[in-house]
Every structure is written in structure tokens, then in C-alpha cells.
Structure 1
């Protein structure tokens, strides 16, 4: 078996082959005698799949200058395809004596008894099926947590709940298919290790944004210990067979090793200066997590692209969402969309067809870079989230809303991208759930153990008069109506919609907007059916189906205002008076009602064979005022009959009145509601 590991500072590297008997680990050390271009390598005869191992690195220990070689610390292979064991203690992992690595000497405490171990893994395995290759304009993303999604699912066998096989269970996949989503976005599934502050208080990083090994699926999500690679393949194959794409949330901006005072588990002990951004030995923190991987380092570029190629090529993953992606584009001169790492990702032939999604910000003051990534990228549109939340709580007018509804051309057109580059969402894993967004104003994060200091205070939420759950039926009904309006706004806007798992089941986290460390019922999806959860589920299915069957509602190109075959512009905005919006209307910040007419005669969508698809025209009316409003429908040139198709006032979205409405008719919308009309013409 050939072993290899990169370290430009090491003076010697040993492979430690580990065995365990009666809970006691022993090791056999074999020195790697070959060194080529900074990579230590060698062949060890007789090693087979399943052998556990680690590296010991001999060399300089000068934390202030970067190198932190300490052979007392057994290190995880950055290229390990399996990792065995969990991190349960911190002290034996520290590479220094005393309280400060810059003032003390290197620790001589052996970490072998406690460190997670790399595992030799044979290549190949179960096939992952044919990738669905869903066009972005047809994509509906569903963000979920592998463990939390099935921990309480009654149809999944207990031993498979919270695992890759749990997500592959037929009942689970049937639910996803019937919901209508086309892609699941898995919160981090790389092998993780909990950070020292969590370990010291008996908590864990449930979300998983704390990577230990970038080539290994997280072993905690395997139903059978050690079978995580094969079970991951099985999960991907099952999802592909159902036409569902698999997108991984990847965390290449930092690792689990924390700041300079943190443990030495892998990259720190191998070659800290080659992997991390350092300032006199201290880790630069652009991520809010204690350290930052150096995106300009050849070692990091190689590690990241190799990891992506492995998961996309051998494990069948269809796309990647890059956490704090601004970090990946940073250079010494600031953010650069053509940075070494971003360029390596977008020019890699194995990744050419992968969906690439950037979270376009980081933890710094100048890290917000929405719209600045290159043509191959889509981005989480934080402006869509903020604008939609503000509009539906009555805090803003309609001017910015119109941009968000129509694909955020002001954000993405300047980099030669299409509307689908905008990942539209109002909720995600971090922040309030949809239900909590209309039930709480303030965060309630005490259970996280940080005295409610963690999590954002910028919630842009509205509790409709009462903080938290209430028995007041009127408030409950108003909350549900507003939540349905928010959900419909995401699904009916031009761009790529993203939902977070459980919103369609009326899930609550009790006002906790940052339960990153809560591996319990707070975070797990509740599959018990209630009247409210079934109503919201029916509504979500209806709106997703409406989008799927209506090409005009998922335009692949930006609207341009030019006349179509109908003789009218492709998009017209109307005031409540039924007249096209004027400049005065747009700049009236007190305006809370807007109608969006989309021409369907030239939707610009195409079939897989390249044929243009036409559609009915549509009128979407959004009213965020606190009182009912009477509006006038557009004149006959825009449609001879307006058929009510969707109404957020009713629990399942089915309009109470379904008869066609004539042009120029006056109709009333209740407070904070959205209504959709299918528009028919004879032309």
C-alpha cells in the first residue's frame, strides 16, 4: 500500500499503523523515506483495506514562525477516505505545554489513545446511478440535515434513522418526490470533529461546520460503523433513481482545529503555514471560527479540488454549496473572483457540469460580495431574503421587491449570468424557521449555552402581536397566511428557489435561530401530522407544482420589456388601480401592494430537445398592508379572463372563489396575502 502526505517543513514523517485490543491502542511506525516536491511517500507491504493509521511529523516547532511539528501528535491524513473514532477530549491533542503555544514548549503527551484515526479504504463500490442533470431553471433546492431529517421518521427502521440509509429509505424518497423538489442540499457531511468549547461543555457541533477530513464522509451518519462510504453511495444512487440531485454543503474556509490555541489534529501539525493564513503564527480569522484556510496556497488549492473531484466523480455528487465562499476568493489585495482557488474549481473538467453555489459573504466587514462571483456560479441571494422578509412585515416599499421577484437582474446581469444564478430563499439552516419567522421577533437561544449571545439579531421578523406560540386563533391564522405568502414569494419568483426542510411541515425551533449545537428535538424534523402541518404541506406541494408546470414562472433569461408575440411587454408592473406603475408609484415607500404580470406567449423556456415552450400569462398580486385592499385588475389587452389559481388566505392555497374574473374587475385582498391569477387570452 502506498502512503503519501504533503509537508514542506517536515524533516521526517512516519506512518503509524494502529491496532487495538481491549480498548488499548498500539502502533507500528514506518518511516516514509521518499520525498518529492514536498510530498513524503513510500510503500508499506501487507497493508490492506480497513487498516487504521495516522502520521507523525518530525521537524521544527516554532509556532510564532508557523511550523508546529510535534511527533507526539498522531495526525489524520487529509486524504483519508474514512475516519474512525470521534474526538472526545482536547488536552491530549494540544501540541504545546502550558497555556500558550507562543510561550511554552512542545507537548510530549502522546495523542494516540484519543485521536480519530484514518482508515485505509479500497477504491470502487456500488454505483451511484445516472446524474439527473436538472437544468437550473427547473431546479428546486431542499436544504436538509442527514441526521435530523430522519431521526424521528416513523417508517425508517430505528437503526437507520439519522443515517445515509435513512435518507435513502423509500418512504423518505417518496416524500421528497411528492413534495416536488428536484435537489437535496445536504448540510456538511465531511468527517467532522467538535470544537474545544463544545467538548468542554459536553455539547457537539450538530450542524457539522467543523471539518476534520475533506475526503471522508462523516462516520456518524453510517448505520453500520465503518460502512459510511458504501452507505453514502447507496444514498446517492437512491436519490438519483428518483430523479433527485445531491448537492453537498462544503466547508473549505476553515477547519475544526480552531485558533492557534486549538488542537493539532491534521493540517496544523503537518504544515500550518502551508494550509492556514497566519500572522506571526496566530491564525487569521475571516470565518468567525478561529482559523482560515489560505485560498492562495497550492496545498489548499490541491486539497480542495481533489476533494471536490472525489465526491463528484467517485461518489456521484451533483453539486456543491460553498460555505463562506468569499474566503475562497480572497487574495492579499482583497476579493478576486478569479483567485487561484475559484479559478481551479471553475476550470476543472471533472467539475464542469457540477452545480456551484456560493454563500457570497464571510465574517469580515468587507466580506459581503453578492453578485461578484464569476459566470459559472450561482449565489445565495441574501438581498432576496432580506427584501422579502421586510416587505411581508410591512417595513419597506415595492421598489426593491420588484428586482427580487424578477430575478435580481441588478445583481447578476453585470457578470453575464442568468436569473437562475439567484438562489432565492427566506429561510435556511441558520436563522428562524418559516414558522418562527412569523412567531418571534427576538432570538431565544439560551439552550445553546452562550447566554443568548450567539445567532444574529437581524431577524427581520414579525410575531403578529405575541412573542412565541399562542392559542389566539386569529393570530395563528394571520401567521399562517403570512408564512404562505413568504413561501409563495420564494417559489414564484424568477430564479432558483431554495426551501429548508421542515418549513413545509410548520416546524418550529422555539425561536432559536442558531441551534448549531442542539442534536435533539429542537433540530430534528417532526413527522407527526397535525392539521397545521398537513395544510402547509399541501400548500407547498401546490405551489411547487404550479411552478413546475408553468414555464413563464421560471424564466431562463432576464425580462427585457420588449413586446412579445402578444404585442405586450414580457413583464408589466401594476398599481392597485390596475394601471402600469409610474415613477411616483415606485418611489412611494409607503406602498405595500404590487401586481406582477408575466407574459407567457414567449416564456423562453425550452424542452430538453430545444423546442420553445409557451405558457399562459400570469398575474401575481402581493399585498403586505395590515388592512384589506381593493385592487382593479388590468385591462383586457393583458387578458380576457383572470382565473384564480392560488390564494395564501386559504390553508391549502386553493382559492375560495374559482370563477374567472373579467378585466378591470375590482377584487379585495386580505392583509398580508398573495394571490395568483392564470390569465387567458384568445390571441
Structure 2
């Protein structure tokens, strides 16, 4: 069948391949190309059936319309222009290029030297030119029909004060779940299966945060070692779901997953990677952006544009300062919200997105301004990973509203406090109250901090109490990768042990940390599997472990610790004092009501000398929030990382008597109610909560 572009002056405003109902309109950006060709392929993607030069160019957008071309059409691009690496140009029409706006990706990338724009191994390195056709080894785009029956599905828009996030991986959570059908394991439909949703609902989760699900290839060096890109932080297709997560190859499977989560009251947050792509440095392959317009899509060295400018540690940095690249990112975000119905995003290495044309981070930069004025994006959940590897990249607390931020200070201080390090009482006090030093500015709220004990990157909670050192040998890098300073403690044995005393101590420390997380102001995030006692065998960088190391172990589903996690989450939901929208200053309310107070074990208020006592291991925190004119939610919390002690219960707000309602030192009845005498016995290494009797 022969194809030709319509003579009609047909121009759709959107980029990508847009099916109109009667044909398909193609549009792609390139400021420096001299010609862009659309390549059509057979249904299996193996044979190139047509090569057509896009006939229209306007505003650096190349476009054309083919009447009768239907969804399911397989396609790619070739771009003609100067091959002048020293000037930043790397056009090579022998290389088939994935459409940056492709909504579905066909096939697996087959690594071959033909994928590179230069001759691999040539003495001139990337200054050489390779004339082999890369199409046989390349993935291709597939034209989509966006119609889907959402059956009234709509965004949940749950307040941050009611949000509990569960970070997980599509394959990791489902590959060993005994209740997920074999054919659905590792897929979106497996994630949306009844057993998984029932677990999350029963646990009390309100939002699921998925590690990258946009199309990413496996890194060549990993495949050569018998490994693969498990986590997915090497995005190449910002509009397309990862094919390996589709059980039958239909993009609608992702929509079905979102629809099912929404029906269960769970929001869907995507971990997105707009700071770099899978093309690597100037010595990487030519797969899409590099071949379409290297000088526009990537930041290049200001001193030598032959070389990439890297603030991400991956070899390249997306040039978010370019208006058309910024448009691509915003179009992608709007696509996932408007077409795929997701509820929010966690931005990987988000400091890179805030870097201006002059490279410095700017919290008032173009990207943030664009997000804040956008009527669609400003209303969804936005979470920043507030750092990158460039100069000035660590920006915890530096992002503008409405962004929330991962707070590694929370993780480190809580781990160190429960490990028994000295001088941590002031630090953990700050974390319990929302990390005001970092976030209480620019009218930001007390939910700005996303509090975490563990995440995909680092030790799991179980490994934090089971290993003193990382054990990443399976990654093939001689244990050099991953962080070495994990603030972990093995409690007496490195790894699994039959010593019941050590096992009991580990269980209590895990309870203490989960209780601390759920009793803290801010937004709690639980790493998927932590509630099950999941271990990665001490591997704290399982990015390439698409196997039992990286997958969630469901054998702990009957463990009492899971019941404790459910209880801790339910306790948080029951107490509005733990979920406040504004930072508490310590100033009494107009009626004299005390909203927050800090106490020593003897019942006296904390003073400067006590705060500076490096040997202090016990801290009392009183919290109050008015529910209405007649009722208040009031709690007295004790965090004891020392030995057994007696704690005098505070005389505050006229409370006459207290009852003990949470006690991590009494695992079998952690949430049972008991009258409390003052002073009250608090076990060593425990968290206790009291309510007015």
C-alpha cells in the first residue's frame, strides 16, 4: 500500500501522532534539522514500507497528515541535518528515531553498534560517522486511538493531610504474590488485581506511588552482565507505558489499572524522570532526541558543545530551559493526567528541572512557574526529589508551593535516634513536627515534608535493622555502588539469624520507626514490602535486580508486624492532631489552649540545657488540635530510645487523667487501652501514646 501526505493545509496544534478519526496527523519538533522523514513499518515492525518527508514546517515543528492511516500503524522518524559534534549537531538519517511523543512503543531495543551515530571503536570516537541503518534494532512508535470507557471515573484529589503514600514497583509487588494469576504477574493488570488492592485498602493506603512506568530500555552494560534495568530510571518515551508491564500489549491496561485503584479510593502517583534520558553521554546511542536535535533537547557544555553537561550522573541532562523541551515535559504531564487519569507525580532529581539557562537552581524558574499557572497540573499531587548531583543540587526545603518534597533528613534523623546515637533529640523533635526549619517559609504548609524511613533507593526497613553494611555484590560492581552510610544497625548479627533475642529487638525497632512515621506531622510514605518484613539481603541499590532480590517477598503476610502497621495507620487517621495543615509555633491559642509542648521525663518543660543534653534519649510531645468548638484531639507521645524509665504525664489544658493507647514495648497489645498512672512506666526502646481518659 502506498501512502502520501494530504495536500490539505491541515495543522493540528499537538505534537506526536494524532488520529483524527479519518487519518493521522504527525508532528515533531526540530529547530536545526534540514528535513525530517516519517518512516512507516509493517505491523510487526520489521519492514520499512514507506519513507515520506514531512511537508510542512512552521515554528520549527515539522508536520504532515495522511488520510486513512489508522491506529496500530507502526512508525518512526529520520532527521537530516549537519553532523558536526563540535558544534553540538549529531544528525544522522541512517538512525531510526523514536517519536518523543509516541503513546505506545513496540518491541525491545536490540543493542547493536548500528544504534550509534558514530562508529564504535573508531579512533576519532564520536567525531566519526556511522552509515548503518539502525531500524532493525530499534523500537518503534504505534499510532493510538485514545478512546476509553472511564465509566464516570474522576480524580480523587484527597487532601495532603489525609494522604498515606505507598511506594512500590509494578513487577516487584506482583511477581511473587500468591493471589495474582501467573499471567498477570509483573503487569499493570496484576497491580490492579483484587488481592493487591485488597491488601492496600486493608493496610490503609490512600495513594500508590509507582516507580517509573514510562518506556525505558535496558542498559547495554547491564544486559552484558546478565542483569537488566529494573527500577526504570532511564526514560526514552515520556508518553508511552513500559511494554513489559502490559500483559496483552494494550495501552488501555494502564487505564484499567488507574480506574480500579480509583474505585478503591486509592490515588495513583507516577515517578517520572524528565531530568535525563536513556541516550547517555555524547558517546551514547542515537535513539530519539539526540538524532532529532541534540543542541535543543540536551544541555551541552558551554565550553565545548561536543560534550554533554551532566547534573544527573547519567551522562546527559534534558534542556528544560528550551521552550519546546519544556513544552514536551508539560505536554507529557498533562497527557498522563488528562488522558490516563493519574493523580500526581514524583519528580526524579527535581533540582535539575529548576536549573535555569545559567545552570543554577532557581525556585522561581520557568518550570515551576509553568506548573503553578497550569490549570491542570497545579491541582495534582507534585512531589520533588529535591536534589541532583550538580553543584548546588541539594535543595531540601527549596521548592515552591505546591510541591512537596522527599525529606532525607527525616529518614536519617529517625534512623539515628532509634539506633541510639547521641544528640538526636533536637533533630527528631524537628522531624516529628514537620521539619519547620526546612519548610516553614514562603507560606508553605506543614504537609510539605514527605516523611520516609526507607525508599526504593537504599535499605528496606528490615535491612536497616539487620545489616551494618551494604551487600551489593550481585550488582557486579564489587560492592562499590550504593550508599555506605545507611545509619543502620544489625542488632548483633549481620543478616538473618535464629537468635530470638535479636529477632525480638529488630521487631521492636521496626515498630518504633513505623510508629514514629505515623505520629509525625507531614506526609508519611511507606516503602512497599516494609509492612511485610521484606528484605533485599542487604542490597541497598537493587536497580538492576529484576529477581527475588528486588521483588517483594509476600511470606510475611501473616506476621504480627503487618497488623501493627495497620494499627499505626489507623491510629494516625483517627487523630487530627497528627495531621495538621499549619506549623505549630508553641504559642497558646486565644483561649489559652496549649497546642504543642515538649516535656522531660520528670514532667518539666524542656529548656535550653535539656535540648543540648547529648545523653538525653527520651522525649515527650504534647499535641492538641481543636476539632470543633467543644472538642479537641489531644495526645501525649513519648519517644524513648534509652532504657526503662518513669514518665510524669503533663498537667496541660485541664486534663485530669490519661490512658495508654499505643505501646510498641507491648507488641501483643500495641493498641490496647489501659488507664495510666503518673508517673507512667515506659519501656526502654519504645514509643507510647496517651489520650485523655
Q: Considering the TM-score relative to the shorter chain, is it more than 0.5?
A: yes
- The match for 1:214 among 224, 238, 259 is 238
Alignment deviations for residues 163-196 of structure 1 (CA, whole Å, 9 cap, x no partner): 1111111221111111101000011010111223
Distance in 1, matches of 2:508 and 2:646, equals 18
Which of 319, 332, 338 is the equivalent residue of 2:344? 319
C-alpha separation in 1, matches of 2:453 and 2:295? 39
Counterpart for residue 533 of structure 2: 506
Task: Show CA shifts across 1:463-509 (max 9, x none).
Answer: 11221111111111111101111111111101110001000001000
Report 1:585-624 matches (<5 A): 585-600=610-625, 602=626, 614-624=631-641
Q: Distance in 2 between matches of 1:565 and 1:645?
A: 29
Question: Closer, same or farther in 2 for the Cα pair 1:79/1:333, shift >3 Å?
Answer: closer
SS in 1 for 2:427: helix
Pick one of 390, 404, 407 that aligns with 1:364: 390
Q: Deviations over 1:632-670 (max 9, x none)?
A: 2223656322211111123355257x42113xx123333
Does residue 674 in structure 1 map to residue 687 in structure 2?
A: yes
The answer to whether the 8 Å contact 1:571/1:599 transfers is: yes
Residues 1:390 and 2:413 are matched in the alignment: no
Deviation, structure 1 residue 310: 0.3
State the alpha-carbon separation in 2 of the partners of residues 652 and 78 from structure 1: 55
SS at 2:135 equivalent: coil
2:644 corresponds in structure 1 to 628
The question of whether the paired residues in 1 share the 8 Å contact of 2:39 and 2:48 is answered with no
* Residue 323 of structure 2 is aligned to residue 298 of structure 1: yes
Q: Aligned partners of 1:78, 1:660: CA distance in 2, in Å?
A: 63
In structure 2, the residue corresponding to 1:14 is in which secondary structure? strand
Deviation string for 1:207-227 (max 9, x for gaps)?
A: 0111010011111101102x0
For 2:68, which of 29, 46, 55 is the aligned residue? 46
Asked whether the equivalents of residues 85 and 127 of structure 2 are also in contact (C-alpha less than 8 Å), the reply is: no
Q: Secondary structure at the match of 2:552?
A: coil
Name the counterpart of 2:16: none
After TM superposition, list the pairs within 5 Å mapping 1:233-244 onto structure 2: 233-244=255-266
Q: Over residues 364-407 of structure 1, what are the superposed CA-to-partner deviations in whole Å (9 max), with x where a residue is unaligned?
A: 35211011111211111111111111111111321121111011
Matching of residue 9 in structure 1 with residue 32 in structure 2: yes
What are the Cα deviations for residues 47-95 of structure 1, in whole angstroms up to 9, with x where unaligned?
Answer: 2111111001111011121111101110000000000111131422111
Task: Tell me the CA shift for residue 435 of structure 1.
Answer: 0.4
Look up the match of 1:71: 93
Which SS does the other structure have where 1:155 is aligned?
coil
**Which deviates the most, 340-349 or 571-580?**
340-349
Query: Within the alignment, does 1:659 sit opposite 2:650 as a pair?
Result: no
User: For residues 466 and 369 of structure 1, what CA distance do their matches in structure 2 show?
Assistant: 36
Q: 1:669 to 1:370 in 2, by over 3 A?
A: same
Q: Is the 8 A contact 2:646 2:679 kept in 1?
A: yes
Cα distance in 1 for partners of 2:688, 2:391 equals 39
Corresponding residue to 1:198 among 218, 222, 226: 222
Q: Distance in 2 between matches of 1:155 and 1:637?
A: 50
- For the pair 1:172 / 2:196, whether they are aligned, the reply is yes
Unaligned runs of 5+ in 2: 1-23
Distance 1:342 1:200 in 2: 39
In structure 2, the residue matched to 1:640 is 656
Partner of 1:373: 399
User: 1:607 is matched with which residue?
Assistant: none
Whole-Å Cα distance in 2 between the matches of residues 29 and 562 of structure 1? 72
Partner of residue 446, structure 2: 419
CA contact (8 A) 1:130 1:241 kept: no
Is 2:546 the partner of 1:516? no
Equivalent-residue separation in structure 2 for 1:644 and 1:412 (angstroms): 32
Distance in 2, matches of 1:376 and 1:220, equals 33
Alpha-carbon contact 2:96-2:138 (below 8 Å) kept: yes
TM (norm. structure 2) is 0.93
Q: 1:76 to 1:245 in 2, by over 3 A?
A: same
Q: 1:357 to 1:199 in 2, by over 3 A?
A: same
2: distance between equivalents of 1:237 and 1:253? 29
Q: Give the TM-score, by structure 1 length.
A: 0.94
Is the partner of 2:667 in helix, strand or coil?
coil
Corresponding residue of 2:334? 309
- CA offsets 1:224-252 (integer angstroms, 9 cap, x no match): 02x0x201110011011111111110000
Structure 1 unmatched ranges of 5 or more? 604-610
Q: Secondary structure at the match of 1:283?
A: coil
Q: Distance in 2 between matches of 1:322 and 1:652?
A: 40
- TM-aligned CA deviation for residue 631 of structure 1: 2.3
Distance 1:20 1:333, change over 3 A: closer
| Aligned residues: CA RMSD | 1.8
Aligned-residue offset at 1:25 = 2.7
SS of residue in 1 equivalent to 2:675: coil
Partner of 2:312: 287
Alpha-carbon separation, structure 2, partners of 1:98 and 1:144: 37
Counterparts of 1:577 and 1:553, CA distance in 2: 24
Q: Distance in 2 between matches of 1:299 and 1:426?
A: 38
Shift of 1:299: 2.2
CA contact (8 A) 1:211 1:251 kept: yes
Q: Is the contact made by 2:594 and 2:653 (CA closer than 8 Å) also made in structure 1?
A: no
**1:204-603 to 2 correspondence within 5 Å?**
204-225=228-249, 227=250, 229-279=251-301, 280=304, 281-331=306-356, 332=358, 334-395=360-421, 396-529=423-556, 534-564=559-589, 567-600=592-625, 602=626
Q: Cα–Cα, structure 1 residues 613 and 519, in superposed 2: closer, same or farther, change >3 Å? A: farther
